[in-house]
Amino acid sequence: MVTKRSYPGRRGSFGVGFVTEELRRSIRGCEVALSSASAGAWDGKIKNAQKAQDIALRFVRRFRLPEPEANRIHRRIDHLRNLLDELR
């Protein structure tokens, strides 16, 4: 069985800061797409949001994060998932 690695707390290219920023951008993009009447604007936003969601889910599964950071990321993933459901 594979165990989760401890997250060292550094802010590398795939650190907590990167993941939360990608989620924030994707949430904002979905909100913009929802307010737009153009379905063409939705396609790119949905694809980018799905990528960000996948990155965040892999990151959370891969590392054992401190509880506050894990909760923050999970809340953003849930919010993004709800927005994606509205766009579909």
Q: What pLDDT score was predicted for residue 12? A: 45
H/E stretch holding 57 reads: helix 39-62
Note the pLDDT tens digit of each residue in 32-66.
Answer: 888 877 777 678 888 889 999 999 999 999 988 88
The number of C-alpha atoms within 13 Å of 28 and in the hemisphere containing its C-beta is 6
Sign of CA dihedral 85, 76, 58, 22: positive
Phi, psi (5° rounding) for residue 13? -65, -30
pLDDT bracket for residue 13 (50, 70, 90): very low
Enter the pTM of the model. 0.79
